[in-house]
Amino acid sequence: MSKLISKPQMSKESLLPLLAQHILEQGLGGASLRPLAKAAGTSDRMLIYHFGNKEQLLTDVLEHIAGIYSAALDAGVGDEKAVTRQQCVARILAQGREPAMQPFMALWWEIVAGAARGIPGYREAAESMMAELLGWLETQMPADDPDPAGGARYLLTLIEGSLMLGMVGHARTAREGLLASDLSPS
């Protein structure tokens, strides 16, 4: 008698980490159904079965990736609240520059470029991700900050600009700009 070896049941939840890994490695350009299915060890039909359509699949995968990114940010900045806006910026920029965060940053800039080009779905994805990040940043503001919502928006603008400048080889420009605003990590 031969024993049947059963494969683990495939589900949306079991597929998301595999799809996320593929998109983080290949970008959204490699996010057509066949390459995604191959990366997940399934068929494109099974992906549609689990997600309904490609748009929902990408929405769900990007939400999954945003959750991973958020958890990495939380782990990187720690549980202790920043005492100053400067400390808040320094922690977030340090985390954003970590090598493990670079696939997330590359994907983020790909989404931003897609939104700028008017590619369907990219602007909505960027708006959703930015709203989540902004909400998270408000929780990171110093306890005695006089305007946590406004401060979070100000810091988000500086952080995004600084990380983007660093990605295109202008980390020094970003540092000098932060120094001019008194928010540079020393």
Dump the DSSP string for 9-50: PP-HHHHHHHHHHHHHHH-GGG-SHHHHHHHHTS-HHHHHHH
User: So what's the pLDDT on residue 100?
Assistant: 92
Q: Which two tokens stand for residue 26?
A: 């290949």
Residue with tokens 């008017």: 118
Q: Which two tokens stand for residue 170?
A: 């202008």
User: So what's the pLDDT on residue 8?
Assistant: 61
Torsion from C-alpha of 60, 112, 184, 133, nearest 10 degrees = -30
CA distance 18 to 82: 35
User: So what's the pLDDT on residue 2?
Assistant: 54
User: So what's the pLDDT on residue 3?
Assistant: 61
User: So what's the pLDDT on residue 5?
Assistant: 60
User: So what's the pLDDT on residue 76?
Assistant: 85
User: So what's the pLDDT on residue 36?
Assistant: 94
User: So what's the pLDDT on residue 80?
Assistant: 86
**Does residue 95 contact residue 76 with C-beta atoms inside 8 Å?**
yes
**Nearest in space to 185 (alpha carbons), one of 158, 164, 149:** 158
User: So what's the pLDDT on residue 111?
Assistant: 93
pLDDT tens track, the chain, 186 positions: 556 665 567 899 999 999 999 999 999 987 899 999 999 999 999 999 999 999 899 989 998 998 899 889 888 888 888 999 999 999 999 998 899 999 999 999 999 999 999 988 889 889 988 998 999 999 999 999 999 999 999 999 999 999 999 889 999 999 898 888 776 665
pTM over 0.85: no
